Amino acid sequence: MKKELLMASALVSTLGVASVAQAVTATMAGSMKVGAEFESADDLGTDSNQVHDQSNFNISLSETTDGGTTISTSFEIVDEGTVSADDDNAIKLTFTDGSALELLNAGNAAGTHAAAVPGAGGEQGVGGTSTNNAPGDLDFAAGSTALGVEWHSAADFLADGLKMSASFSTDNGLAKAAAARLENSWGVGATYVTTAGDSTVTVSGGVADGEIATSGTQATSDKGGFNVGVVAVTGDLTIGVGYGDGDTFVNSTTNGTNQEIDGSVMKAGISYVTGDLTLALGVTAGEGKDGAFGTADTTDDSSDSTSASVTYAVASGVSAVIGYTTVDAQNDGASSTDDGSSWYIGASMSF
């Protein structure tokens, strides 16, 4: 019995030492945002006031093998009224030459290289109940399944300032159902950074394509398209513009029927930092033609928005923001409940 206790103690001790020795490096970051939003809807909507109480907590995990390959991943816990966890994070292998490979939940390379066009801060927005399908993001045509990989080149790939990525995702094996889903996808993207006088100019974009799976009528076009953008930074001034075009879809669980969308979107923005103040202005213009799977996309949707904000750095990690957004939207060629304007005033603390 004494020998068994000694063996058990030794085993526990060994496992404890091993667990400490094998622990990966963890870093933490997060933020807390609290503010009030005041929405003024147009004739078809309803005015509303609400308080936004949002927090997120991110943990990044990383370790380097004896061969120099870094293995990393991360996860995030977000509280925006209901607690949820972001578990769509890939395992990333970064090699000694600077290239990297993401495994599972890797995303689409065309979305990876979508331009980071500056936009207004704050949590303001105009909500509605319409089925407006005008796109609002440059990478709306890029999609992927969880069974995907994405390769990233090292910096200065083939030319100084150039980085490239390529991705592929495949079917998860589920049977086709009435609600359409993305079955597989591929994407390529690139970012090129150069200088022009006192400015740093970043040109980026990507192309994506994917197949839609459904047990009913097939869409006339699969999900896919392209995006391109340019962002220039001169001192404290940042200016950017981007454009995306392509085809996408919403499934029957979203709008009651599978709908295909032929859309395009343009985004432009400017931000300027002066002392503790950051001034930002952004515009988005999205257009889409939607219709049931297998039919011509003839009904017109649109959403044009202009947003502005002033952010003041109160202290290290603490900022106050005032933001404003106005939206002019049309759904199926008629006025939409997505019309209106919104104010936001709030503060955030981050670490």
Where do the structural domains in the chain lie, given as residue ranges? Answer: 107-146+155-350
Whether 80 and 70 have beta carbons less than 8 Å apart is answered as no
Contacts of residue 167, defined as CB under 8 A and 6 or more positions apart, other chains included, come to: 106, 107, 108, 109, 110, 112, 144, 148, 149, 150, 151, 185, 186, 187, 188
All residue ranges of the chain with pLDDT < 70 are 1-22, 43-45, 79-88, 128-130, 297
With CA atoms as reference, report the closest residue to 169 among 271, 90, 229, 57. 90
Task: Report the largest interatomic distance among the alpha carbons of the chain, rounded to a whole angstrom.
Answer: 84
Q: What is the pLDDT of residue 80?
A: 60
Question: By three-state DSSP, how is residue 335 classified?
Answer: strand
Q: Where are the beta strands (DSSP E) in the chain?
A: 25-41, 48-64, 70-79, 83-86, 91-94, 100-103, 148-152, 162-169, 181-196, 199-213, 224-234, 237-250, 259-274, 277-292, 299-315, 318-331, 334-335, 340-350
Q: What is the pLDDT of residue 254?
A: 75
Over residues 225-249, the pLDDT tens digits come to 999 999 999 999 999 999 999 999 9
Which residue type sits at 92?
A: K
**DSSP-assigned beta bridge partners for residue 250:** 259
Contacts of residue 187, defined as CB under 8 A and 6 or more positions apart, other chains included, come to: 108, 109, 110, 111, 112, 142, 144, 165, 166, 167, 206, 207, 208, 209
Q: What is the pLDDT of residue 329?
A: 86
The CATH architecture to which 107-146+155-350 belongs is: Beta Barrel (2.40)
Which residue type sits at 231?
A: V
Question: By three-state DSSP, how is residue 31 classified?
Answer: strand
Which letter does DSSP use for residue 24 in this model?
P
Over residues 259-289, the pLDDT tens digits come to 999 999 999 999 999 999 999 999 999 999 9
Q: What is the pLDDT of residue 46?
A: 72
